[in-house]
Structure 1
Amino acid sequence: MTMAAWPYHNAAHIQDTLLLSAHLLAAWQQGDLASEASFWRAPDWSACDAGLLLLACLVHDWGHDGSPVASSPTLEALACARLDVCWTNWTAAPAERWHGAGQVIRQVVLATQASAVHALHDQYSPRSDAHQRPQTVPMQHWLSLLMTEADVGASLLPHAGLWLTQCVQQEWHLWAAEMPLARAMPVTDLVALRRRFLTHVRLSSFCARRIGLQHLLQQGLAFP
């Protein structure tokens, strides 16, 4: 089954992720606000790094097979490998220039693995030991934060949340060949699944707050 056939991991998800990342990048370019910089500081705006984030968004689920199960190598690692193989067909840039860019993209894409998201955000979430917080987020970590926020942003929208939850649920069953696509989960079960998802969402950047993702998350937890 091709990626286009999956109910959730398809071209629409890539479009959503790219759109959210563009909004997050616009917020970054506008600059941090003093009231939002009390825990750590974002790195200075970089058009080149913004471009790397967009490329990471474009390829982060390349070849996704609908599996909800962690594997080795992970689906994210396989997506990075596909990009490495195809890069020479897309650009005339010297291999040494791609090496550095490819390393950044790999870290950003691998940050979307379920096992990595919480560890990443825990480094930059507000804590009581303020003196131990990093002063400036390293660029690769910053891009990874934005990547993971863009990856889930569309699922926070109240008019799309339950639908996307159903798409994920259908995808799991398609992957496991347990039921036909037409069979739907009861609404109460979908609500419970969505709430479980929302409790695991992590948003740490001032960009996510500025464009309203944090507000949408709080709304969803209050009224899933």
Structure 2
Amino acid sequence: MIKALDSLGADLKTRALTHVSYANEKGPPVASNERLEFLGDAVISLAVAYHLFNAHPDLSEGDLTRMRANLVSGSSLAWVARAGGLGDLLLLGRGEEMTGGRERQRNLASAFEAVVGAVFLEKGWAEAKKLVEETVLSLKMETVPVDPKTLVQELVQRTPGLTLEYKVVGVEGPDHLPTYTVACFVGGKEVSRGQGSSKKDAEENAARSLLENGFLSRGLPDDKHHFSGDKIGS
């Protein structure tokens, strides 16, 4: 990370590290890293998508999208920035400095995106892609916040032809504050349920419940269409 920064011209390096609060305090001609952040976000997304496309030829578009979302999430990019020491190098306004801006996830993730954008501008695609590979794509799985639906999907796909489906089975509460109940079905069998204030949250909680109840870790059946036992919750 530091090596990539040091390879940049002085002006571009400074701009990549300049938070908007510092730019606002100093005024023109000082510019924030927001435009570089915009560019870097696109470069990181493309580099990660390219890697996943080649590394996982059997995964669907939806699975690849979820995997990319995990890798380029704010928490993942902030972890990379923190590990690379970017927080200590940020140029912050006084207020941002006094309120913990150097450790703020948003600031760290944005700074990393800006650095990647700067490397892309000055060094080109190959060097920017290399930086992403050495940082984001080198993350160990335990450091990446994988969403439970992605993990369940990957586990189910180990049995070819086995189906996975989420269904809304109940909605309670007023229209402006509903609580959804979603059931998760594996091979046509209900194996867990989850609730949430949105369908997405309820699905994630159903997947999380499935991971916690150990059903998948006990091994999936040879006959993908039939399960023994009663419905969950019955």
**Same fold, TM exceeding 0.5?**
no
More helix per residue: 1
Query: How high is the TM-score relative to the length of structure 1?
Result: 0.27
Max radius of gyration: which structure? Answer: 2
Report 1 or 2 for greater relative contact order, CA contacts < 8 Å, sequence distance ≥ 6: 1
Query: How high is the TM-score relative to the length of structure 2?
Result: 0.26
More strand per residue: 2
